Amino acid sequence: MEQELILCFERIIFQFPLFWYSVPACGKSYIDQVFTNEFSKCGLGERTTVLKGKHMKMVYTTGGPKNFYTQPMIVTQSWQMFAEYLGMIWEDPFVLYGGQDESLADQYSEQLAT
């Protein structure tokens, strides 16, 4: 079911709260269950044809303010590699720092619309 849905869209957005500079365990489990080698055809170093050209974007929230996260690449590097391995087009992530700033809601809506 999830794999069929992914194939219907050109842009896949992963949204999650940051947990120890990574995706929570349930998010990792989702990746493992949905993006299997059989589905993504990425075994043995071959580039996928199923997901190639689709866009991948991360949206995540943090518990702390922006100055707590001085090296955002730590969070996004593995995701960017994941996207590239699957032949997907990586989009810059959107981060909601602190989870308290309601003014970011408009920015987030704009991100989803583009």
* Tokens describing residue 93: 């992530």
- Measure the CA–CA gap between 80 and 91, rounded to whole angstroms: 9
Residue 1 lies in a domain: no
pTM, two decimals, is 0.80
- Measure the CA–CA gap between 10 and 20, rounded to whole angstroms: 29
Residue 2 lies in a domain: no
Residue 76 lies in a domain: yes
Residue 29 lies in a domain: yes
Query: Residue type at 5?
Result: L
> Which structural domain, as residue segments, surrounds residue 13?
8-113
Q: What is the pLDDT of residues 8-67, one digit of tens each?
A: 999 999 999 888 878 888 989 999 999 887 777 655 555 557 888 999 999 888 888 888
Residue 12 lies in a domain: yes
Q: What is the pLDDT of residues 56-104, one digit of tens each?
A: 999 888 888 888 877 766 778 888 988 988 889 999 988 888 866 667 7
Per the structure, the count of domains in the chain is 1
Domain CATH number, residue 88: 3.40.50.360
- Measure the CA–CA gap between 11 and 32, rounded to whole angstroms: 19
Q: What is the pLDDT of residue 89?
A: 95
- Measure the CA–CA gap between 63 and 21, rounded to whole angstroms: 11
Q: What is the pLDDT of residue 76?
A: 84
Q: What is the pLDDT of residue 46?
A: 59
Q: What is the pLDDT of residue 19?
A: 84
Q: What is the pLDDT of residue 107?
A: 75
